[in-house]
Each structure stands twice: as structure tokens, then as C-alpha cells.
A = this chain, B = another copy of it.
Amino acid sequence: MTTSNTIKKVLIVFGHPERKSFNGSLLDATVKNLESQGLEVKVSDLYRMNWKSEVTEDDFPETHEKGTRLEVAPESLAAFQNHKLTPDVVAEQEKLEWADLVILQFPLWWTGFPAILKGWVDRVFSAGLAYYRPERFGDGAFAGKKAMLMVSTGGAESHYSATGIHGPINDLLFPIQHGMLFYTGMTILPPFVTYSAYNITDDKFNSILEDLYNHFKDIDSLKPIAYRKQAEDYDPKTKELKQEIVDASNEKGFSLHIRKD
């Protein structure tokens, strides 16, 4: 892992419909904070870009014959390999290529991404680039890059605690952090989560800003989540954890896939 790399360029992908929202204010504050640290920042504000959420045959205009059977992954691969993806997707892939740190900022809707942000992953993480290649989970096209989620929830923190009714926040974010981002080789920094994100008074906002500044204060030394790498800890054939690791662990479920050192 290249966790000692210095972060210079940050891409923030913003998935909230309203720029004049709490999330919008937090985005502004984050950009300002990162720029004041001398970092370059780009923002993909998906709603303002009228981002297309659905994978359709129009995504492969030159490598798919309209009206014929769409196979998705092979056609995504052909379009990627032949440099025939659509300009909106190519632009996002170029921003990803450019960035040292990728931040996905969104309100937690029904336990996860708003559809538009899922559509960003579905379309930008094309075959050949992000999947359909042997390197995965700790290696891949985005190895060396870092990723971080910035999430707001309506529910209180206790609802997302170890015994909270929604399930632990880290488990809810696992499909995104591990199954999407770590999958492509990125190193995952701890998320910045704002609970009870409604009726935000000035006092509450200032206290959130203080947490935000602390979170980003020394961003290069933020300790990543220690997900296990496919190349090291899994059976190459079954993709199951090596038995000695399972035997030595008291964990179950998603937690098994995080090193305890």
C-alpha cells in the first residue's frame, strides 16, 4: 500500500440534489479547507451535471448495434478498450486518473447511495478499467489512490452503533468502501459521518465544521481501514479467506475482512 504518498489532488463526487443544503454547505467548507492546505480540488456535482444514472445501450454508441441484445460487461469492455465510451464517462475517468484522493459525498438514503451516485459508479467503473481484470481488492487500476466517504444520516448515531437497529455504520458502508472502492485498488480512509443531519443550527454547523477540520487536518497520515488484500489473504481459486486466518479470528461477516493489526 502506498499510504505514504502525499495527497495533492482531490476529486469530490457530490450526490445531493440540493446545493443549498447542509451537504452543500459542507461541500463548500471542505473545498475551502482543502484548498487552504494547498491542495487542488475538482468537484463532480452530479445533479448539476445532469448525470445519467442508468447503464443503457447508449453508453456504447460505437461498439453496440442499437436494438441488439445488450450484454453490458463485454460491451463495456469493448468500449473501454477501443476508447469509445461516452464523453461524460471519459471525463469522470480522467478526473479519477488525475486524483490522489477521491471523496464521495452523499446523504445516506435507504442505507446507501442516492441512485445518481450509484449510477456514477455503474457507468464510470467500466469493465477493463475497474473490473473484468484479475487484480481486485487492494490492487487494480486505482491502486495508490485513496478514497473517503462523507455521509450524512437522518437517524441518530445510536441507531447506527454496534447494536443499533440499522446495523453498524461500518457494516452499512462496507459494500461501498470494500466492494466498490477497495475492489478497484484504492486505499480507504475512515469516513466522515454526520448523524442527525437535520435542523442544523449555526452552533451545530460550527461544531460539525470543527470535526471536519480535525478529520482533514493531517490527511496524509489518516490511518486507512485495513481491508485484507485478495493477493495475500485469500485462496486464489475459491476467493475464500485462507483457513489459518479464519481460525485465528473471532470475527464473522464483514469484519473478517479487516486486519486487526
Query: Which residues of A line the B interface, CB within 8 A?
Result: 17-18, 20-21, 47, 53-57, 69-73, 107, 109-116, 118-119, 121-122, 125, 137, 154-156, 158-159, 161-168, 171-172, 174-176, 178-180, 183, 198, 230, 234, 238-241, 246, 251-257
A122 to B234: give the CA distance in the assembly, Å.
36
Residue of B158, B238, B253 near A254 (CB, 8 A) is B253
B256 pairs with A163, CB closer than 8 A: yes
B257 pairs with A154, CB closer than 8 A: no
B73 pairs with A154, CB closer than 8 A: yes
Residue of B72, B111, B241 near A179 (CB, 8 A) is B111
Residue of B17, B18, B239 near A54 (CB, 8 A) is B17
Given contacts A72-B17, A110-B122, A179-B167, contact A116 B254 (CB under 8 A): no
A167 pairs with B156, CB closer than 8 A: no
Number of copies: 2
A239 pairs with B110, CB closer than 8 A: no
Q: Which residues of B contact A20 (CB under 8 A)?
A: 69
Q: Which residues of B contact A137 (CB under 8 A)?
A: 165
B253 pairs with A255, CB closer than 8 A: yes
How many Å from the CB of A98 to the closest CB on chain B?
Answer: 22
How many Å from the CB of A60 to the closest CB on chain B?
Answer: 11
B246 pairs with A163, CB closer than 8 A: yes
Q: Which residues of B contact A234 (CB under 8 A)?
A: 165
A241 pairs with B163, CB closer than 8 A: yes
B167 pairs with A253, CB closer than 8 A: yes
Known: A17-B56, A20-B69, A110-B179. 12 other contacts (CB 8 A): A17-B55, A53-B115, A54-B115, A55-B115, A72-B107, A110-B180, A118-B118, A159-B239, A166-B179, A167-B253, A253-B253, A253-B255
Q: Which residues of B contact A178 (CB under 8 A)?
A: 167
B112 pairs with A112, CB closer than 8 A: yes
Which of A111, A113, A172 counts the most chain B CB atoms within 10 A?
A111
- Closest residue on chain B to residue A118 by CB atoms: B115
- Closest residue on chain B to residue A183 by CB atoms: B110
